[in-house]
Amino acid sequence: MSDLPTFIDQAWTDHAEDAWGVSLRLPDALDLVTDADGMLGLARLASHVYGEHLGRWADGLKYLAALARGPGFDAASAQGQALRVLRAALALAADSGDVRATLGTSDRIAVTARAGMLLALHHVARAQALLDEAVSAAESAALPPGDPAMRTLAMAGNNAAAALIDKPERTEAERALMLHAAALARRCWGLAGTWLETERAEYRLAMAWRAAGDAARAREHAQACLAIVDAQPEPSAFERFYGCEALALAEQAAGNAAAHAQALQAAQVAFQALSPDDQAACRSTLQRLQAGAA
């Protein structure tokens, strides 16, 4: 087997198309853990795959417990505390225990937000309630923008929205959660993130509104995404490519052929400015855009 970093990188690459297959490989990686950073990296992957994708709560909890018994775990370390948050969130999502009363304010909010995120594809009502609870707790606690819980809230909103955007069909409740989560991510990244995270949140909002059937709102957020990219001293062709993708899809949904063609051309120009590695990462997206224009 490969070393742990290589295993984790490959698993993240594979999991979107084959979460079940990755879950079957995860137990083999336990023997590769030698330090705290490796332990936490594997824990985050396992929580995402077992929880967000598969809803296999018991398997996820068992896996994180095994990591807590292995090399690299120190309950007093930052990694050990982060693992505790992951385990608490998975247990809360599973409705198999709630240890939030034993945690500090920031960790308690992080656990609530993570649990909501984990449930987005599995129990919409509970996911919505937990995300709302996390937001209310953060507002009541008057958390500073740099508090880690604010970044966790942003990440939770982003991941929940992304999961629902990718669904071929959504119920009305799922549609509402998708839009709510995407807006939450934008608001929190605006407070706790960099320009990069903020513009990507605008991209996510554009994709969410397109999935929800509102091309005008999708266009608005795609344009906001591109405006943030272009405001940088050295605008990123990679970020611009995806902003153009969002705009092209919004214009296509609106039935605006001329604007769609213009956005597609801008995406092709951005693609040509990418490094070979980034072109390889973006090529399938460009091909889908071109196929949609044919």
- Residue 86: pLDDT above 70? yes
d(CA 269, CA 267): 5
For residue 35, give the DSSP letter: S
Instruction: Determine the Cα–Cα distance for residues 26 and 117; give it in Å rounded to an integer.
Output: 21
Nearest to 111 by CA among 51, 163, 68: 51
Distance, in Å, from the CA atom of 238 to the CA atom of 155, rounded to the nearest integer, reads 21
Quote the pLDDT of residue 146: 83
The predicted model gives 91-119 an average pLDDT of 96
Measured distance CA(57)–CA(91) in Å, rounded: 7
DSSP, collapsed to helix, strand or coil, labels residue 180 as helix
CB 218, CB 206: distance < 8 Å: yes
Other beta carbons within 10 Å of 256: 15
The arithmetic mean of pLDDT across residues 115-143, rounded, is 96
Mean pLDDT of the chain: 95
Q: Structural domain boundaries of the chain?
A: 4-215, 216-294
pLDDT for position 294? 65
**What is residue 1's predicted lDDT score, i.e. its pLDDT?**
56
Summarised one tens digit per residue, pLDDT across range 187-237 is: 999 999 999 999 999 999 999 999 999 999 999 999 999 999 999 999 999
Spatial distance between the Cα atoms of 43 and 148, rounded to a whole number of angstroms: 18
**Which residues, other chains included, contact 133 with Cβ-Cβ below 8 Å and sequence gap of 6+?**
112, 116
Model pLDDT for residues 54-74, shown as the tens digit of each residue: 999 999 999 999 999 998 898
Q: How far apart are CA 12 and CA 30, in angstroms?
A: 16
Mean pLDDT of 137-161: 93
Orientation of helix 36-46 relative to helix 78-94, angle to 10°: 20
Which tokens go with 192?
Answer: 């706790």
Give CA separation, 105 vs 43, 47, 100, 134, 152, in Å: 22, 22, 9, 11, 13
pTM of the model as a whole:
0.92
Helix residue ranges per DSSP H, the chain: 4-15, 19-25, 36-46, 57-68, 78-94, 105-118, 124-141, 148-165, 172-192, 195-211, 215-230, 237-254, 257-272, 276-293
| Amino acid, res. 159 | N
For residue 145, the Cα-to-chain-centroid distance in whole angstroms is 19
Which 8-state DSSP code applies to residue 1? -
